[in-house]
Structure 1
Amino acid sequence: MSALLGLGTYVPVWEHSGQRVVGPDEDAVTMAVAAGRALLDGLREDAQSGREPDVRRVVLVSRDLPLFEGGSGAALLAGLGVPAGLPVVEQVGGGPSVLELIATAEPGTLVLAADLEAAGAGAALVGSQGTALDHVGRVTGSLPTTSRGRDGVRWDYDDPRLMLERGTKAALADLDLADKPDVIAGLGPKPTRQLSRKDVATLPTTGASSAIFALAEAGSGDVVVATEQASAVAVSVAGVAPTFRDEAAPLPVPRTRTTPGPDIGISLPAYDRAFDSKLRWEAGSCNACGNLAVPPRLRCTHCGSEEGWSLAPLPRSGEVYTKVDIHVPVPGRATPYSLAIVQLDNIEVRTLVTVTGAPSGALEIGDRGRLVLRRIDTRSGVPDYGHALRPDVVDDTRGDKA
């Protein structure tokens, strides 16, 4: 038995045909960080003492991991703002794997899950106290109606009736529950209504993160099941876990064009020098005079000192000082897009960042927003993460829409 301290959820702002889709600067890591920060920041604000959530281990579950060699652990820890020395596990899996992890994890485990189709992410922090979860049962079956191997090719058997009858229903029967599950994750709207007791709104995802979205919908005493093909895991929930959501109102996918051209190669020395500063959103503070620089510099541009520097956290909110909308075709980049110089709150620092979560042209001088982790580019196959401005309020009548 484990206990939930809280849950966090994230869905991208973009929507196509009634389904949330990732933006061009999002992937499993950025979405997992968004859900994780929603949870951790929410717990910090919710606790009157302001104590730091106790995270001792991080596990990311997805079938869309950005790097299979090299890994994304350092980017994940930096984006979450947790110590770099924490152990990280990147695990390929779906909803049953996530629910199993949460129900059996040691206190201090932060479980993250992210999906690109349909897009969304969830976070769950396991503690020694909180909402109790009791592991009810597990079934591991094989019915690969959808598969993807090392070659990356996706294969679909395309027989939904076989999947329902010999996969999902057979797994639920093997769980031997006393009644239908109250909330079920991993299925589309119609089989969900058919197989669950509660009239729960359709979950945003059907993959790994669906298990966390299901826990967020569960009430005290509910049985939650996560299923995938012919496998399933069931837990009972004794209470309602606090849930912190980052789920903005949907916007239609904007019209863009991509111009072919040569990629910009990666410079690993430059990547290494700016890594912590960019991903943790911290500036180098000169040890001699306190002048801030992003990224940190060997020689202070203010006093000329080479005595070294220390990282200082930067505010994550600010106001648009000025902005520009780029319409000129840029090789390898979807255009149009927007850049903004942001005056950060409570500090005399302005920073140049891209704009995310809003159509080009939707942002104006004076608008407010917050800095969020995004994939700024991919260089030599390596995701290059940084921070972008996400507006607090988006007036989609200003921008281009599909």
Structure 2
Amino acid sequence: MGQLSAVGTYLPPWGSHTVRVAGRDEDVVTMGVAAGRAALSGRSETVGRVVLVSRDLPLLDGGNGAALLAGLGLPSDVPVVEQVGGAPAALDAVAGAAPGTLVIAADLAPAGAAAVLVDTVGPEVEPVARVTRSLPVRARGRDGVTRDYDDPRLERDRGAGVAVDRLALPSKPAVVAGLAARQASALAEGRPPALPTTGASAALFALAALTGAGLVLAVEQASAAAVTVDGLPAVVRRDERSAAPMDVQRETPGPEIALPLAAYERAFTPKLRWEAAACAACGTLAFPPRYRCLGCGAEGRWAAVPLPRTGEVYTAVTVHVPVPGIATPYSLVIVELDDVGVRALVPVTGVRAGTAGIGDRGRLVFRRMAVRTGIPDYGYALLPERPDEVDGWVTTAGSPATEGGR
């Protein structure tokens, strides 16, 4: 039986108050990293296993585990399980997790991600019932095309309705994940909390929405799962800025820029783990790492050290020149990182192009820089601070256990 030690949530800053849209530099991995870091909040040493649940995994061959671990700051020997599934699968992953497991679920439409750290403290989660049936009213084939056989009556009478009946629940659920608000209200006790997604992450958003003990139901097409949560509410940390319309950008046609895999492999660790090279002789930092130290001239003697994830804009520029594969306009900044004397060139994310200026403070967040020859190329971007942030967290409405959004 797992215990909800902490829950983290993430919503992209784009869209509306009802539906969030993933940014052009976001995917399941970047959103999963944001939710996972919110859940961990300095407790990464407790994680011995990571489970990622989604139906929108970026890489089906080769896997997404290495990028996910790097963004989370977890060791590369932590096992990662990537599971294709929706809300019931995510709820099952939490209910069946051993202590020290970080379960992450993310979705692209509507966009959002949530993560649960299962450990030895917090409210207990106990499976109640599970039923797996097939009614593929929404399907995506090998051609990548999604086909939606939109028939609410069929879904109700032969899909979700039958699945819930077969669960034979002892009482009505407090929260329902995976269904539209009207359908969820018809199944729940009273007026259930509205959830921002309907995919895999909806099940974890449901756990974050609980204000006490209760029954949680997750439904996907004709399958369903239910768990009970006992004890005090879990600690919830929300990375949920208010939404804004996405910036208008243009795509320029042209030949795709290939990703040189040799360079990709060499840069992977420092770029995705946000690490500099510290000279073993004099301690001078270099980012990206250099073979020869600029401080004392020593060669090949350095160790990787983590860089701060906050800093101040030293200089900024907005690029309008069209480049194939990169939407314009976009902003670039040189950020002076706090307390280390290192400056880094990074793009700006989460705000309209041209709005970040010299002296602005922000934090470095994990983002997708580009997709080249079908391969996501990840790195870090500057997310400018907002006036309502305190130590990187934004106060948002939520359950009594909520600590706010980052």
Q: Tell me the distance in 2 between the aligned counterparts of 1:291 and 1:212.
A: 43
- Indicate the percent of aligned positions where both proteins have the same amino acid: 58
Q: Does 1:262 align with 2:255?
A: yes
Aligned pairs, number: 387
User: Following TM superposition, by how much is the alpha carbon of 1:199 offset from its aligned partner in structure 2, in angstroms?
Assistant: 2.0
Corresponding position of 1:143: 135
1:382 alignment partner AA: I
- Between 1:194-203 and 1:272-281, the stretch displaced more is 194-203
Instruction: Output one character per residue of 1:114-148: Cα deviation in whole Å (capped at 9) or x when no partner.
Output: 10000000101111232101111001111110011
Q: Counterpart of 1:115 in 2: which secondary structure?
A: strand
Q: Tell me the distance in 2 between the aligned counterparts of 1:204 and 1:334.
A: 27
Corresponding position of 2:325: 332
Q: Tell me the distance in 2 between the aligned counterparts of 1:146 and 1:245.
A: 30
Match of 2:157 among 142, 148, 165: 165
1:12 alignment partner AA: P
Instruction: Output one character per residue of 1:157-213: Cα deviation in whole Å (capped at 9) or x when no partner.
Output: 110121122211111111111222110000111111221114233211000000000
Q: Does 1:95 align with 2:76?
A: no
Match of 2:54 among 49, 54, 62: 62
- Between 1:247-256 and 1:286-295, the stretch displaced more is 286-295
Change (3 A) 1:199 1:170: same
Q: Tell me the distance in 1 between the aligned counterparts of 2:317 and 2:95.
A: 48
Q: Tell me the distance in 1 between the aligned counterparts of 2:186 and 2:45.
A: 39
Q: Does 1:378 align with 2:371?
A: yes
Q: Counterpart of 1:180 in 2: which secondary structure?
A: coil
Instruction: Output one character per residue of 1:252-311: Cα deviation in whole Å (capped at 9) or x when no partner.
Output: 111111111122211222111211111111101122222212221222233322132111
Instruction: Output one character per residue of 1:356-399: Cα deviation in whole Å (capped at 9) or x when no partner.
Output: 0001122122111100000111222211110000111289xxxx
Q: Does 1:5 align with 2:2?
A: no
Q: Tell me the distance in 2 between the aligned counterparts of 1:326 and 1:16.
A: 27
Corresponding position of 2:287: 294
Q: Counterpart of 1:120 in 2: which secondary structure?
A: strand
- Answer yes or no: is the 8 Å Cα contact 2:177–2:198 preserved in 1: yes
Instruction: Output one character per residue of 1:62-113: Cα deviation in whole Å (capped at 9) or x when no partner.
Output: 1011111111111111100011111111110011001011001111111111
- Answer yes or no: is the 8 Å Cα contact 2:87–2:218 preserved in 1: yes
Q: Counterpart of 1:383 in 2: which secondary structure?
A: strand
TM-score normalized with structure 2 length? 0.92
- Answer yes or no: is the 8 Å Cα contact 1:363–1:394 preserved in 2: no
Corresponding position of 2:403: none
User: Following TM superposition, by how much is the alpha carbon of 1:52 offset from its aligned partner in structure 2, in angstroms?
Assistant: 5.1
- Answer yes or no: is the 8 Å Cα contact 2:349–2:382 preserved in 1: yes
Q: Which runs of 4+ in 1 moved over 4 A?
A: none
Q: Tell me the distance in 2 between the aligned counterparts of 1:324 and 1:126.
A: 43
Q: Does 1:110 align with 2:102?
A: yes
Corresponding position of 2:195: 203
Change (3 A) 1:53 1:198: farther
- Answer yes or no: is the 8 Å Cα contact 1:288–1:307 preserved in 2: no
Corresponding position of 2:361: 368
Corresponding position of 1:321: 314
User: Following TM superposition, by how much is the alpha carbon of 1:320 offset from its aligned partner in structure 2, in angstroms?
Assistant: 1.1
Q: Tell me the distance in 2 between the aligned counterparts of 1:256 and 1:118.
A: 21
- Answer yes or no: is the 8 Å Cα contact 1:183–1:198 preserved in 2: no
Q: Tell me the distance in 1 between the aligned counterparts of 2:187 and 2:45.
A: 36
- Answer yes or no: is the 8 Å Cα contact 1:200–1:217 preserved in 2: no
- Answer yes or no: is the 8 Å Cα contact 1:358–1:394 preserved in 2: no
TM-align CA RMSD:
1.5
Q: Tell me the distance in 1 between the aligned counterparts of 2:181 and 2:281.
A: 61
Q: Tell me the distance in 1 between the aligned counterparts of 2:45 and 2:228.
A: 24
1:61 alignment partner AA: V
Corresponding position of 2:73: 81
Which residues of structure 2 form unaligned runs of 5+?
A: 389-406
Q: Does 1:351 align with 2:340?
A: no
Corresponding position of 1:399: none
Q: Counterpart of 1:271 in 2: which secondary structure?
A: helix
Q: Tell me the distance in 2 between the aligned counterparts of 1:383 and 1:6.
A: 29
Q: Tell me the distance in 2 between the aligned counterparts of 1:305 and 1:341.
A: 27
User: Following TM superposition, by how much is the alpha carbon of 1:323 offset from its aligned partner in structure 2, in angstroms?
Assistant: 0.6
Which residues of structure 1 form unaligned runs of 5+?
A: 45-50, 396-402
TM-score normalized with structure 1 length? 0.93
1:370 alignment partner AA: R
Corresponding position of 1:20: 20
